[in-house]
Amino acid sequence: MIHYGLKGVIAAETGISHVDGEKGQLIYRGYEIGEIIDQCTFEEAAYLLWYGEFPTGEQLHDLKVSLVGNRQLPSYIIDLIVSLPDEMDLMSALRTILSAEGRKAYRWKPTIEQAIRMTAMAPTIIAFRRRHLEGKTFIPPKPELNHVENYLYMLKGEVPTKAHVNALETYMILTMEHGMNASTFSARVTASTESDIVSAITSAIGTMKGPLHGGAPSEVISLLNEVNEQGDAEKVIRNILKRGKKLMGFGHRIYKTIDPRSVALKSKLKAFSGEDKWLDLSMKVEKLGVQILEEVKPGRSLYTNVEFYAAAIMKAVQMEKELFTPTFTASRIVGWSAHILEQAENNVIFRPQSKYIGPIKKKEDSIQV
C-alpha cells in the first residue's frame, strides 16, 4: 500500500509534542497548551521544549542572558542583509542569511546553545531586513526587553504596549511546535544525514515558505477589514457563505473539533478586552461566525482555527502581511531545533522508498532504422 505524502505513516517517536485532532489537544512535553500559555513566557516555553522541563529561576535567567547575548548580528550578516536583492521576499532572505551562519563550529552533533543562537538571531534578521526594505535605519536590540517585546521594538522603533506584547507572545508560544508537520519532517530528514543544525533549519524554512504550509492568514485579515468597513458582521458573513465561499479562519484539516490553539488565544486575549479594537472585533466575528455556520452547515463543527486569532493579533500590532510567515518561522525555530536535537540522540537516516511506475525499455527499441 502506498501512503502518498507519507500521510499517516509514523516515522519517529518523540517526547516533544502531541497533536490529537479528534480530541482537540495540543501537548508540549506532557503539558496542555492552555496551561502553558497561562503560566509561561516565550523563554519558559522554549526552555521546556529544549530541556523537557520548566526552568528554575536561575536557569531562566541564564537562558535570557544567552538569548540577549546572541541577538547582535556579526558584521558579515549585516552586510548580507543589505546586499541581497530588494525583490527577494523575507522568507527567502531569512533562509539565505541564516545559512551564512553555518561554520565549522556547527558540526554534528547539534547543541542547545546552537538552538538558542538560531532562535535569538532570527527576529533581529527579520527586523533588520524589513527596515532595510522600508528605507529605514536599523534599530539595535534592547537588552532589557524580553524576546517578543524586543522583536516588536526592533520592527517599530518604540516599546510596544503590554496588550500587544502579550497577544504576540501567546501566538508565538502556540506556534513554536506542532508535531511532525512538513517543515519539522524536513528538518529531521536533514539532521538524520548528520548535517549541521543550520542546514536542518534552513531546510525547514524552505519548506515553511511554501503556501500549503506556512501560508499567512491574509484572507482572515480581508474578512476583518470588510466587517470593520461595513460595520455589519452578520451581513458580511452571510454574504460570503451565500456566494459559496469559505469563511476563512474557520475549520482545520487536522482538528476535527475546536482548535486548542484558538481556544488558548481567545482565553488570553479576553484579558485585554477593550484595549484594542481589532482584538475585540475578532471575538465578535468569531461568535457570529460559529453561530451562522452551525445554522447554514449543521453538524460540520466548524470552529475558528489558530489563523483566525493570529490575523487579529497581526492586525492589532500593525504587522504587515509580509511579516506573518517570517514571524511564524521565528517561533517555530524553537520546535524545529528541539526535533533536531531529539533526532541526534537516536539517529537513523530517513530513507523511504518509491514505487517505479515508468516503462522498462531496451536501447535497441528506440533505434530508428
Catalytic: 252? yes
Residue that has been written with the C-alpha cell 463543527 in this structure = 301
Q: Which three cell numbers stand for residue 349?
A: 537516516
Residue 178 bears catalytic tag: no
Enumerate residues 6+ apart whose C-beta is below 8 A from 183.
Answer: 204, 205, 207, 208, 213, 214, 332, 336
Question: What are the two backbone dihedrals, phi and then psi, of residue 65, each rounded to the nearest 5 degrees?
Answer: -60, -45
For 17, phi then psi, to 5°, come to: -150, 165
Give the whole-angstrom CA distance, residue 36 versus residue 49. Answer: 11
Neighbour-count burial for 128-155, b at 16+ CB within 10 Å, e otherwise: bbbbbbeeeebbebeeebbbbbbbbbbb
Q: Is 32 helix (H, G, I), strand (E, B) or coil?
A: strand
Q: How far is it, in rounded angstroms, from Cα 1 to Cα 260?
A: 33
Those residues whose C-beta lies under 8 Å from the C-beta of residue 177, and which sit 6 or more positions away, are: 16, 17, 28, 49, 332, 334, 335, 338
User: Which residue among 149, 177, 307, 342 is the active-site one?
Assistant: 307
Examine residue 270 and say whether the peptide bond preceding it is cis (omega within 30 degrees of 0): no
Edge-first strand order for the sheet with 25-28 is: 17-20, 25-28, 31-32
Are residues 35 and 268 in contact, defined by beta-carbon separation less than 8 angstroms? no
| List 164, 178, 252, 339, catalytic entry | 252
H or E element at residue 286: helix 277-296
What is the C-alpha to C-alpha distance for residues 139 and 150, in angstroms, rounded to an integer? Answer: 10
The residues annotated with a catalytic role in the active site are 252, 307
